[in-house]
Amino acid sequence: EENFDYPSGTVLATSTTVADATTGWTAYNGTGTNNLATAADNQVQAQYPQGVLAATPAGTSTQVALALNGQDIYKSLAAPTVPDRYYVASVVNITTAQANGDYFLALYDNTSGGGTQRGRVFVRATTGGINFGVSVDAGTSAARYSSTVYSLNTPYLVVLRYETNGTAKATNDDVATLYVLDNSATPVNEPTTATATSGPSTGALAATNFLNAVALRQGSRSGAEASATLLLDGLRVATGWGAAVGRPVYTTSANTIAAGDYYSLRVAGVGTQVSTNGTVRLEKQLNLDGGQVVTSSTSPLVLRARPTIGDGFDILVNPGGTSYVDGPLAREAVGGPSLLFPIGRNGNYRPLTLNITSPPSGTTTYTAAQTEGTPADQTISEPLTRISRVRYFSVMPSPVPAAGVFTGTVTLSFGSDDDVTDPSVASFVVAKSDGAGWSSIGRGVNTASSLTSDTFQDFSDFSLASTAADVTINPLPVQLTSFAAARTASGVQVAWATASELGSDHFEVERSLNGTTFGRVASVPAQGNTTQAHRYTALDRSAPAALLYYRLRQVDRDGTVAYSPTVTVAAGAGATAEFALAPNPAHASLSFLTEAATAYTVRNPLGQAVRTGTTHPGTNTIAVEELPAGVYLFELHGSQGRVVRRFVK
């Protein structure tokens, strides 16, 4: 994908041997004469990806200008092979053309030194306008032109299909097909009728030839034999029609979509799954027609705003409950619309809606994600009596608005496993946490499957919650309010407390020497059903003197299991005390033990601080779920110096 997003006047290639470090283009002919460079403004096709046009700074170009004659350049493709089919798409606006015609775009071999070209795209002047043509191999005489007359100074979507028909390169059966679509066309499917076709080829590719680059050509002649002058933008190369025109459709079980800009994405059929490989940006439509898109913090899906076109973003979701985005989903917003996030996890589709009342100025990107299980932060503030341990949600903006700039509400959805019995009662609310405790942000309207909060002004995690003492009303199962462990003369004393319980069977205390492999050391009966707070203790008499890790396994009568955050206990007499983090690798949180209030810093591989804070004496837990996957350094700044530990997210 090449959108020519460089400052206006940028020369794309200056060397015939080395690709430009910024643009990736290399010259292969005519360097020094009309060097190919970018020009101001852009070529836009309404139903074709624009790239980062909406966010491009003033004076930055997203098109390239080709002159009558001069320098020719190429850009390498990902793999040095010839697939069964290549598709090359771009938006082209012809300013002038010559009667004899010439080509301006082709596939190119940059490995053999011979500069072999195939799939040449031509244009020539004709009465009332221009004709487009195509040649499967070399030579202007081999060009096949369409009789259709197209207009000058008009953007067209031009798509070249080059196919080897699955045979050896030495076989003369390659075919080149050209499609030219105007602004009214909807290029969802490859047209059944081509603009022009050339083939089969008359000269076979040698064994040493690979069509592993795309070339832009300005021609080498003048006067009546010169090439065209034109503007070209949005150059894309793929092995399928949908990816080439930015409208891929997936219908099989396991797929990967490459990083880049797309107009739309459709995932069709139950069981169909598409994983993002890098940042994938959609500009118009996400169609979850039975399948799922799997994302991560390093490979998110971004639904973009397109203010240059003025249309909104369309989200289509199959009502069967199997269609959602599993992982972070980002949405750009300019102004204050309501933003739907069709997110889910582990077969549970729980869409979230951010309702923006007072938006920040400019473009803000909001990222939402659904997390299954109990949040690491278990501290609740009155009047809350419990929060959901089934799942919670996060919404984060970028850039973060200044205090008091943003106001809005959030709508959370729920299903049968969320243990919501009466969504209409006043005690059923939305809770919000900044990592240091949950507080109620009230309620607005509700439906049979959703609850909207009252107004809030900053972002963090959100959860369904209750202020009711009666746990038979929206129980949101067992609410664990604390969990701690401390070494004593008799062993390690483990203590925990619940705010309420419904259907709880028993608790199991588990111990580990490495923070990864745990074994049961105690089992304590639970209260079953209670609206009262209860405290529990267990003594691990056989605890070794080494550094230890403890967690609580909560088991309900129906077999449901949930785990507490992990806590650490320092080594006792006869063992060397060592500061440690658990679990490592970490997913949602890190736990560690400090003897006093101590400053800490978490740094990414570049040495940049991504978390800072101050610990308290005893067991500490910090959230790391929003950190991208990678290796981090945890620094503890104590009175006796700095302690550094490595952990993996």
Three-state SS for 226?
A: coil
Residue 469 sits at the vertex; the CA angle it makes with 464 and 470, to the nearest 5 degrees, is: 90
The ranges assigned to domains in the chain are 6-241, 245-466, 477-578, 581-649
Residue 193: per-residue pLDDT = 93
The closest of 297, 166, 388, 343 to 629, measured between CA atoms, is: 297
For the cut 80, the answer to whether the pLDDT of residue 621 exceeds it is yes
Residue 41: per-residue pLDDT = 84
| Alpha carbon distance 540, 559 (integer Å) | 25
| Alpha carbon distance 195, 178 (integer Å) | 6
Q: What backbone phi and psi angles, to 5 degrees, belong to 333? A: -140, 135
- CB contact at 8 A, 75 and 187: no
| Alpha carbon distance 247, 87 (integer Å) | 13
Residue 454: per-residue pLDDT = 97
For the cut 60, the answer to whether the pLDDT of residue 573 exceeds it is no
Reported as a single tens digit per residue, the pLDDT across 507-546 is: 999 998 887 788 899 999 998 877 677 889 999 988 888 8
> By percentage, how much of the chain surpasses pLDDT 70?
88
For the cut 80, the answer to whether the pLDDT of residue 173 exceeds it is no
The model's pTM: 0.71
Residues 6+ away with beta carbon under 8 Å from 307: 54, 334
pLDDT tier for residue 337 given thresholds of 50, 70 and 90? confident
- CB contact at 8 A, 366 and 355: no
334: alpha, beta or left? (left if phi > 0; alpha if psi -120 to 50): beta
| Alpha carbon distance 38, 11 (integer Å) | 7
- Whether the link from the prior residue into 248 is cis, omega within 30° of 0, is no
- Classify domain 477-578 by CATH number: 2.60.40.10
Average pLDDT over residues 304-311: 58
Task: From residue 70, give the alpha-carbon distance in Å to each of 33, 52, 95, 272.
Answer: 5, 29, 16, 48
Residue recorded with tokens 């092995």: 239
Q: Which comes out higher in pLDDT, residue 226 or 611?
A: 611
For the cut 60, the answer to whether the pLDDT of residue 139 exceeds it is no
Average pLDDT over residues 194-202: 83
Element (H, E) at 243: helix 241-244
Residue 507: per-residue pLDDT = 93
- Give me 270's structure tokens: 């139950």
Average pLDDT over residues 449-454: 96
Average pLDDT over residues 106-117: 74
| Alpha carbon distance 56, 343 (integer Å) | 29
Fold agreement between 6-241 and 581-649 = no
| Alpha carbon distance 156, 462 (integer Å) | 47
- Classify domain 6-241 by CATH number: 2.60.120.200
| Alpha carbon distance 476, 648 (integer Å) | 32
Residue 597: per-residue pLDDT = 82
For the cut 70, the answer to whether the pLDDT of residue 165 exceeds it is no
298-307, 382-391, 476-485: least confident range: 476-485
Q: Which fold has domain 581-649?
A: Immunoglobulin-like (2.60.40)
